[in-house]
């Protein structure tokens, strides 16, 4: 998430009330989570396990809960609660805007696009040309939709990320300031839910087709010409490369990458990254042919046991 203009380290420290290490005028251009962070950004870290990853990332500023040696060319914001202060920055730079109409005055809708009754389109949404948005679709603020996109009834684009910190008093939510981006010629079925990024974009690329009742988590990227069948659940920060096929009820763990042209059979539980160009099945997931052999062997166990008894 980029700020509307550059801010200094001192200015950001005053917003969140923190100490800092670095020059007062050190420039900051945005804020992002670790997996999408860029030069000029703030990244937050609040667990020693991830200190090195954050300090060695592309981030120019690290919001951290311990005074550590500052890497050359970077700056630090020292906070007793980086999670809380990251939320403060999201509230400051991306405050919630309530709606006062079913279709916001700030929404941009391209020529030839059809908006059916009972559609909600939020603030600063952009929809391209020759799209069809069916009844009861909800499109939250800042979503970007390309040309020739079809979205069926009941689908929600841009709900908050499912991202919480477990505190003694209960779960504390990490606020979402990102977007959903749908590229050209994407079809999205009925009752799908596509969450926006925490600070970046959840993206569905050109030509991909989604069936009904699919969940896409925050900051996930679905490549070009993918086919995703009904009831697939994709966690946050997943990368699905081009021309992947996911059959019904596949579940994918957070942070996994599915390689180009992979095929994943129905009801597979994907708990790790998968190479492209192969076919997979099962839970835990394996190459389909190997998994089928294992299942065949398991089916032979009663017969083997019976033979052992007779011997």
pLDDT tens, residue by residue, 27-46:
999 999 998 999 999 999 99
Question: pLDDT tens digit string along 221-264?
Answer: 999 999 999 999 999 999 999 999 999 999 999 999 999 999 99
Separation of alpha carbons 280 and 287, rounded Å: 4
Binning pLDDT at 50, 70 and 90, where does residue 143 land? very high
Is 305 part of a structural domain of the chain?
Answer: no
Known catalytic residues? 218
3-state secondary structure the chain: CEEEEEEEHHHHHHHHCCEEECCCCCEEEEECCHHHCCCCEEEEECCHHHHHHHHCCCCCEEEECCCCCCCCCCEEEECCCHHHHHHHHHHHHCCCCCCCCCECCCCEECCCCEECCCCEECCCCEECCCCEECCCCEECCCCEECCCCEECCCCEEEECCCCEEEECCEEEECCCCCEEEECCCCEECCCCEEECCCCCEEEECCCCEECCCCEECCCCEECCCCEECCCCEECCCCEECCCCEECCCCEECCCCEECCCCEECCCCEECCCECCCCEEECCCCEEHHHHHHHHHHHHCHHHHHHHHHHC
Residue 150's pLDDT is 98
Domain shared by 122 and 82, yes or no: no
State the CATH number of the domain containing residue 7.
3.40.1390.10
Count the domains in the chain: 2
Q: Whole-model pTM above 0.85? A: yes
The boundaries of the domain holding residue 16 are 2-93
- Chosen domain end from 59, 93, 127: 93
Is 78 part of a structural domain of the chain?
Answer: yes
Domain shared by 178 and 53, yes or no: no
């Amino acid at each position: 998430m980029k700020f509307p203009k550059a801010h200094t380290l001192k200015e950001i420290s005053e917003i969140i009330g923190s100490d800092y290490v670095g020059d007062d005028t050190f420039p900051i251009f945005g804020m992002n989570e670790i997996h999408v962070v860029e030069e000029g950004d703030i990244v937050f870290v609040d667990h020693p396990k991830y200190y090195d990853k954050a300090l060695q990332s592309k981030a120019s500023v690290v919001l951290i809960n311990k005074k550590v040696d500052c890497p050359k060319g970077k700056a630090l914001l020292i906070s007793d609660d980086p999670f809380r202060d990251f939320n403060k920055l999201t509230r400051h730079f991306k405050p919630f805007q309530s709606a006062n109409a079913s279709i916001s005055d700030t929404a941009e809708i391209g020529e030839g696009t059809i908006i059916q009754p009972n559609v909600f389109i939020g603030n600063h949404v952009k929809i391209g040309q020759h799209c069809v948005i069916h009844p009861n679709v909800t499109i939250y603020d800042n979503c970007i939709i390309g040309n020739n996109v079809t979205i069926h009834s009941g689908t929600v684009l841009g709900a908050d990320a499912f991202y919480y910190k477990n505190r003694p008093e209960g779960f504390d939510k990490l606020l979402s300031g990102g977007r959903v981006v749908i590229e050209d010629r994407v079809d999205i079925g009925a009752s799908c839910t596509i969450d926006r990024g925490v600070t970046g974009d959840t993206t569905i690329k050109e030509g991909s087709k989604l069936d009904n009742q699919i969940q896409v988590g925050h900051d996930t990227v679905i490549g070009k010409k993918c086919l995703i069948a009904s009831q697939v659940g994709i966690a946050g920060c997943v990368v699905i490369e081009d021309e992947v096929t996911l059959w019904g009820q596949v579940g994918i763990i957070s942070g996994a990458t599915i390689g180009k042209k992979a095929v994943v059979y129905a009801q597979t539980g994907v708990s790790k990254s998968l190479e492209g160009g192969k076919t997979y099945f099962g839970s835990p997931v394996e190459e389909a042919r190997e998994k089928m052999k294992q299942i065949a062997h398991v089916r032979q166990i009663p017969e083997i046991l019976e033979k052992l008894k007779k011997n």
